[in-house]
Structure 1
Amino acid sequence: MKKHNSTYHMSILSILIAIIILQDFIPVLGNIPIGPLSLTTLHITVIITAIVLGPVDGAIVGGVWGVITWIRAFTMPSSPLAPLVFVNPLVSVVPRIFIGLIAGWLFLGLMKVIKKPVVPMVIAAIGGALTNTLLVLGFIYLFYHTPAVAQAYGVNIDHLFKALLAIFATNGLAEMVLAAIIAPAIATPLRRLHHRTK
């Protein structure tokens, strides 16, 4: 029985890793264009993994996304900004790992005090999304407060902070809301299925 559970667990983890890879390479799956915004959905897969399988597995799926982002910055940049900032694993990999850890820890911690899982899921999704946005944008500003990066954002160096703040206020908050809606909707049946097989 224990071997069956382990095999099942690894199968689910493998499927979620495959999904994050597909999302990264198929633009419509990984990024949803909504008006002037392009909302990423990859963080939602990491959050769902963290809620269903736990923070370590969430970190693994996030790490896979981060490593792909890092490799693509050298080989197939997804934007003019990618070769400038995502070649640094602190920007491309570390925030993605922390999405899984923060979302997973938040969910487990809140489940100890809030028995209905929907509220912990929503808070974990918000925490995971904010972790990604704040760490990526924060590291970009910290390590790449340079004219080249400012130019990639279409501003001069003096306005880089304002540009990053605008991204947080638009994309960042929209991605947080998206995660808060979608992650619990998908994680709820997956958790039921996962617990049923334990």
Structure 2
Amino acid sequence: METQKTGFAAGRTKKMTITGMLGAISVVLGFTPLGFIPIGLANVTTMHIPVIIGAIVEGPFVGAMVGLIFGISSLIKSFMTPTPISFIFMNPLVSVVPRVLIGILTYYFYTAMKKVVRNEKTVLLMSGAFGTLVNTVLVLGTAYLLYAQRIVEAMSLPEGGAFAFFMGIATTNGVPEMIVAAVVTAASVTAIKKIVKN
């Protein structure tokens, strides 16, 4: 019984440590230029990648907690450094909820794919891309549903131009972000698992 308690405490401590570490990385990426990689015309974000890694390595709870930290930092940043469209991220339904769901949905996608795809690296690449897709679709989709007209006004777009605006972001940034996240996730998770084994 004592051994079980010790094992449980050690496991909980490990999860808390990884959550704190990956959450801190997300915050640093969010508040510094390190969170963005210029690729051509795109400004690719990497802030969501720690959420994906946390979900794969430690499960949906850790993924959700890292996502929560990422989302809250995004919410805070929208007030600290406002832009013409910062009002979007001042709503937790846009800035926080989708980021929590990244961790949960990515974990279940990863476990499902492991049952049908034998190559672990392929599954990791797919999971990194999937987590990014979740972030892109949920954030932009929620923003469009809630703020389409305000975006038109804030960005001086033609009437009904919000859809094209968001599709442009999804196409220009979303695809490169999926590629970057896939590669970084596969490399990072592989390295972490090797360290844990040793």
TM > 0.5 fold call: yes
Per the normalisation by structure 2, the TM-score is: 0.89
- The Cα shift of 1:151 comes to 4.1
Distance 1:36 1:157 in 2: 25
Which of these residues, 26, 29, 32, is aligned with residue 26 of structure 1? 32
Q: Go from structure 1 to structure 2 and tell me whether the alpha carbon gap of 1:157 and 1:9 turns closer, same or farther (over 3 Å shift).
A: same
CA contact (8 A) 2:41 2:172 kept: no
- The Cα shift of 1:114 comes to 2.9
Quick one: which amino acid aligns to residue 118 of structure 1? Answer: K
Which of these residues, 106, 120, 128, is aligned with residue 103 of structure 1? 106
Per the normalisation by structure 1, the TM-score is: 0.89
Unaligned runs of 5+ in 2: 1-5
Which of these residues, 73, 79, 82, is aligned with residue 68 of structure 1? 73
- Deviations 1:3-30, CA, capped at 9 Å, x for gaps: 3343233222211111111111112x11
CA contact (8 A) 1:145 1:157 kept: no
Q: Go from structure 1 to structure 2 and tell me whether the alpha carbon gap of 1:88 and 1:191 turns closer, same or farther (over 3 Å shift).
A: same
- Deviations 1:97-137, CA, capped at 9 Å, x for gaps: 11111111111122233343212211211111011101111
Runs of 4+ in 1 over 6 A off after TM superposition: none
- The Cα shift of 1:47 comes to 0.8
In structure 1, the residue matched to 2:182 is 180
CA RMSD of aligned residues (A): 1.8
Does residue 127 (structure 1) correspond to residue 133 (structure 2)? The answer is: no
Q: Go from structure 1 to structure 2 and tell me whether the alpha carbon gap of 1:100 and 1:156 turns closer, same or farther (over 3 Å shift).
A: same
Q: How many correspondences in the alignment?
A: 192
- Deviations 1:144-177, CA, capped at 9 Å, x for gaps: 021x412444522321111111111110111111
Q: Go from structure 1 to structure 2 and tell me whether the alpha carbon gap of 1:120 and 1:154 turns closer, same or farther (over 3 Å shift).
A: farther
CA contact (8 A) 1:106 1:120 kept: no
Unaligned runs of 5+ in 1: none
Does residue 114 (structure 1) correspond to residue 117 (structure 2)? The answer is: yes
